[in-house]
Amino acid sequence: MAPQGHGPQTSEALHQAFSKHVEVALSDLQSIINVEVERCRKELIREAAVRQQQADAEWTKLLSERKTLQQEKDALVMREEALEREKALLQGNRGPSDVLDLNVGGQTFCSVRRATLSMVENSGLGSMFSGRWESSLERDSAGRIFVDFPPEIFMPLVDFLRQKCIEDPANPVEPPNMPPERMAAFKRMLAYYGLVDTLWPRPEGKWETAWGHMLISDEDRAITVTAQRDTYQAAAFNAQRLWRSPHPLWRLHVTKTRSDAPWYYDSVAFGLVSMVNSSALATDRHASVSDLILNLRGDVREDFPNASIDLGGGMPAEQCSLDIEIRMRNRQFVLEFNGREHMTETLPPGLQESSCCLLVAVTYPWISVKLLA
């Protein structure tokens, strides 16, 4: 039997009593939530404000830097314009189309375009006739600029520069063909004017290994091999073509570093390798012993592989070096050493003079080959 005094009335009383407490607790919880939400909202607003200030500061900084760069650019343009005005003043308002009247050695009178005489800008001749020193140039009584060199050596230079102005890169202008008795004076004049490299450009002298173990010295433009093994065990390309003439020319100095060692046929050998253009890398070219043409005795094919024979009287051991000049002309590969002995071989079929580089092979580690020009 259920206890007396407990029934629906009791449950209702309990519900009313607890409902008040729950409502109060929920109200307190809602207040706490509202306070926290408000705090988070204010915190987010503060963070947003800080970030906006940082962004505004960065934008202001970028605008300032942009303004500074624009000012520097404007200043640079003004300096360039000022330099151009100064250059024009130094040139005496003379342009490259001026025609100059010259008195050459008191014997020849001629008229030459300023642009012709000043085409090599960094040379002494180019500076002399640039217009910057117009008032300091010597003149004769007729107002002609006086050139204190004989016309026999100065006029060939003028003719060379005239041709150089209209030069076709595929057909370069050759230096003047000076008589031997005038060549020394001609070269001294070129040195005075700073034009030696213009008439006879110096190669860069870069060598690239073709095969074997080759030591390459870019500083003195020399090659040697590291150890003795087989005939023509190492070789190098001369990577720089000499474009000053339609007929390639190389000058080499071969040195024997061991005075007791003899000269052999295969001490050094020379050949040619076809190349597509002057900037081709060694990896784009392929060479082998079959590309060699001449050694110190003659045709490589006659001696190889048994070419280690003493040259004897043809090249005494006491002689420690020899100068070699290699040229190509009329499809002939011509080798001259010590200015007196010539050896000639016909170029291999398909090999063109205008599209090849020199190949030099060395057998013995006491042989050094240096590129002179």
Report pTM: 0.45
For residues 201 and 195, what is the distance between their CA atoms, to the nearest angstrom? 9
Determine how many CB atoms are found less than 10 A away from the CB of residue 61.
10
CATH number of 99-199: 3.30.710.10
Q: Which band of pLDDT confidence, cut at 50, 70 and 90, is reported for residue 88?
A: low
Query: Residue 268 pLDDT > 80, yes or no?
Result: yes
For residues 177 and 73, what is the distance between their CA atoms, to the nearest angstrom? 52
pLDDT digits (tens, 9 = 90+) for 328-362: 777 788 888 777 667 788 877 767 666 678 889 99
Determine how many CB atoms are found less than 10 A away from the CB of residue 15.
9
Token couple for 120: 């090599």
Q: Which band of pLDDT confidence, cut at 50, 70 and 90, is reported for residue 140?
A: very high
Per the prediction, the chain carries an average pLDDT of 80
pLDDT digits (tens, 9 = 90+) for 178-227: 998 999 999 999 999 999 878 876 555 678 888 888 888 866 688 888 87
Maximum CA extent, the chain: 156
Hey, is 53 helix, strand or coil? helix
Cβ contact 250:369 at 8 Å? no
Q: Which segment of 51-65, 84-98, 160-174, 325-339 scores lowest on mean pLDDT? A: 84-98
Q: Which band of pLDDT confidence, cut at 50, 70 and 90, is reported for residue 9?
A: low
Token couple for 29: 């919880």
Mean pLDDT, residues 136-140: 91
Cβ contact 345:294 at 8 Å? yes
Q: Which segment of 76-90, 150-164, 171-185 scores lowest on mean pLDDT? A: 76-90
Hey, is 178 helix, strand or coil? coil
Cβ contact 231:187 at 8 Å? no
CATH topology of domain 207-278+288-299+309-372: Jelly Rolls (2.60.120)
260-296 exposure pattern, b = at least 16 Cβ within 10 A, e = fewer: eebbbbbbbbbbbbbbeeeebebeebebebebbbbbb
DSSP 8-state class, residue 171: B
Hey, is 77 helix, strand or coil? helix
For residues 254 and 29, what is the distance between their CA atoms, to the nearest angstrom? 102
Query: Residue 105 pLDDT > 90, yes or no?
Result: yes
DSSP 8-state class, residue 142: T
Q: Please report the pLDDT score of residue 282 as a whole number.
A: 42
The more confident residue out of 80 and 87 is 80
pLDDT digits (tens, 9 = 90+) for 116-133: 999 888 889 998 888 888
